[in-house]
Amino acid sequence: MMLEAISYTLIQTSFGQFIYNQNLAFLAPELVISLTLLMTFALSLAKTQVDQAKSWGIALLGSVVALVSIVMHYQLFYTGQASASQSVMFGMFEADLLSVVARFILTLGFILILHLSKRYVETRLPSQTGEFYTLLLTAFLGALLLCGANDMIMAFVALETLGISSYILTGYLRNNLKSTEASLKYLVYGGCSSAVLLFGLALIYGLAGGSTSFAVLPQALSQASDLGAWASLAIVMILAGIGFKVSAAPFHTWTPDVYEGSPTPITAFLSVISKLAAFVFAIRLLTPFAGVGNENVALLIGLLAVFSMIVGNVAALKQTNIKRLLGYSTIAHAGYMLVGLAALTQNSLGALLFYLATYVFMNTGAFASAMIGDELLASEDISAYSGLIKAKPWFVFAFSIFLLGLAGIPITAGFFAKFFLFQSVVLSDLGNLGVIIIALLASTVSLYYYLNIIKVMVIGEPSEQVQRLIGEGKDSTWNLSKTLTLATVICLIFTLGLGIFGQNGLLISESAMSDHGATVTQNLR
């Protein structure tokens, strides 16, 4: 009763009316994150490190509340509420099932990244803890908004919120040359790619008859029967911009450098959160092209996919730094996912979303393992991991599961994700077996470098660092960060669990795509 009375009074105010009319309630996760961000910002002004350290707890609380609000929104879709799928803010933000599912995965991933960051930030950046989480939350806010952005202006602002915060976070180890250099490279490449993407969007804006909304694109594109030279230029530029954001070859050159130079939690953030948000943006922007001029768009995305798979997997073969290797593996995974995007059918996009979900957990797990390895061995070199099984068998077990998942070995979620994705592409109209054969060959090549790490850890002679670990034995004063361990265990559970319950996950992502397809028109088959 009380609650109803309060909400009734709230609606009577003009601000309440605005919230009600514009369906702002569907933006609850974003609003919660914005509030959290302001609180951590206020804390960052505190002088003492004790106060600053509280910002981690606030950030975690905020993301958990955001997660709960997303789950509550998700339930609306299953209680048969007609108003479950809503346009928010004059159609700028589409709160459909796709955005809900994507934001759910995104928030889970972000909570894991927070767990990864805790110890790292406490030990390496004790005086800037508040700032760090403020920037991290800002980047996350951009990613959340990007998942539902249905308007060019909204998408661009969200993309840059994510981007600019990431540039700063990449260079956060201010006195570390690698970190600042990575930050500079990211900024210059990022700025250029934004300009290229915007140029493409500007031309599409003209084709769409002067509307910035993605909603009018399907109709506008079907009427522009002969897509002239400017339209072709627009498509090429948009794909180049998206290719940069998802780190697809030949626009990948920034990825390994930035991944190696960034603080490791930020590397995980970039490879998981940024990539997921960028793919959802790509899905929203490219769905209207399904059906019109489809062949050329599909061909270009297919080319990006083939390049990424080949470049990522071949270059990963000769890496010795674990973060750099994971960077190239990310490029290869972007290639597999682009295969699903190229087909542009409802099933292939659903499989792509499921792939993204499994990828979030596998890759966060791999980066968490790299962080534990860094704490144990004080090295990012793969050779330092040699013979680690004799000192830390459980760690080797967990790391191996993540690597097997990334390689796509059965039982892990990675296998089912690849299987569903390639199956849906084979069944699509595109039916391009050439791409699938290249993808299968590329994943075979990837086995070499993933299994090589496991081989080194299991049957290699113990390296200097590992011998020191064995020598210390039980007397070791080293204690593992509890949050990092928790994040690793959660990733492990999801990597195996999504494999077992893969079919259910796929169903959810496919219904998300059918909801998205229905709002875009019947373009998606």
Partner 1 sequence: MMMSAEVAEVAAVAGLTVHHYLGVATILFGLGFAGVVSSRHLIRTLMCVELMLNAVNLVFVAINNHVNPSDLSGQVFAIFILTISAAEAAVGLAIVLALFKNTASVDVEDFSRLKW
Question: Using CB under 8 A as the criterion, which residues of the chain lie in contact with partner 1 when the complex forms?
Answer: 152-153, 156-157, 160, 164, 167-168, 171, 174-175, 177-178, 180-185, 187-188, 191-192, 194-196, 198-199, 202-203, 205-206, 209-212, 230, 256-257, 260-261, 315, 318-319, 324
CA-wise closest residue to 253 among 296, 303, 192: 192
Q: Which helix (DSSP H) or strand (DSSP E) does residue 258 occupy?
A: helix 254-261
* Least distance to partner 1, CB of residue 190, Å: 8
For partner 1, which is the closer residue by CB, 198 or 376? 198
Query: How buried is 321 (Cβ within 10 angstroms: 0-12 exposed, 13-18 middle, 19+ buried)?
Result: middle
Q: Give the separation between CA 427 and CA 510, rounded to whole angstroms.
A: 15
Which residues touch 151 (CB under 8 Å, ≥6 apart)? Answer: 91, 92, 93, 212, 213, 214
For partner 1, which is the closer residue by CB, 33 or 240? 240
For partner 1, which is the closer residue by CB, 123 or 320? 320
Phi, then psi, of 150 in degrees rounded to 5: -125, 25
CA-wise closest residue to 242 among 297, 316, 295, 166: 297
CA-wise closest residue to 242 among 150, 304, 298: 304
For partner 1, which is the closer residue by CB, 178 or 455? 178
* Least distance to partner 1, CB of residue 347, Å: 34
Phi, then psi, of 249 in degrees rounded to 5: -65, 150
Q: Give the separation between CA 464 and CA 291, rounded to whole angstroms.
A: 59
State the helix-helix crossing angle for 464-472 and 346-377, rounded to 10 degrees.
70
For partner 1, which is the closer residue by CB, 174 or 525? 174
For partner 1, which is the closer residue by CB, 185 or 516? 185
| Total residue length of the chain | 525
Under a CB-based contact definition with an 8 Å cutoff, are residues 258 and 186 in contact? yes
Which residues touch 85 (CB under 8 Å, ≥6 apart)? Answer: 77, 94, 95, 96, 97, 515, 519
For partner 1, which is the closer residue by CB, 147 or 159? 159
* Least distance to partner 1, CB of residue 207, Å: 9
For partner 1, which is the closer residue by CB, 51 or 160? 160
For partner 1, which is the closer residue by CB, 89 or 496? 89
For partner 1, which is the closer residue by CB, 202 or 459? 202
* Least distance to partner 1, CB of residue 336, Å: 22
For partner 1, which is the closer residue by CB, 98 or 331? 331
For partner 1, which is the closer residue by CB, 68 or 184? 184
Under a CB-based contact definition with an 8 Å cutoff, are residues 209 and 511 in contact? no
- Residue appearing with tokens 């489809």: 294
Query: Exposed e or buried b for every residue in 486-506, given b needs 16+ CB within 10 A?
Result: ebbebbbebbbebbeebeebb
Under a CB-based contact definition with an 8 Å cutoff, are residues 319 and 325 in contact? yes
* Least distance to partner 1, CB of residue 85, Å: 24
CA-wise closest residue to 376 among 452, 461, 464, 487: 464
* Least distance to partner 1, CB of residue 159, Å: 9
* Least distance to partner 1, CB of residue 201, Å: 8
Under a CB-based contact definition with an 8 Å cutoff, are residues 365 and 492 in contact? yes
* Least distance to partner 1, CB of residue 143, Å: 16
* Least distance to partner 1, CB of residue 8, Å: 35
* Least distance to partner 1, CB of residue 174, Å: 5
Q: Give the separation between CA 212 and CA 323, rounded to whole angstroms.
A: 39
* Least distance to partner 1, CB of residue 29, Å: 23
Whether a cis peptide bond, with omega within 30° of 0, leads into 250 is yes
* Least distance to partner 1, CB of residue 168, Å: 6
* Least distance to partner 1, CB of residue 183, Å: 5
Query: How buried is 5 (Cβ within 10 angstroms: 0-12 exposed, 13-18 middle, 19+ buried)?
Result: exposed
For partner 1, which is the closer residue by CB, 62 or 263? 263
Under a CB-based contact definition with an 8 Å cutoff, are residues 446 and 332 in contact? yes
Under a CB-based contact definition with an 8 Å cutoff, are residues 394 and 431 in contact? no
Q: What spatial distance separates the first Cα and last Cα of the chain, rounded to whole Å?
A: 47
**Could you say which DSSP state residue 463 is in?**
P
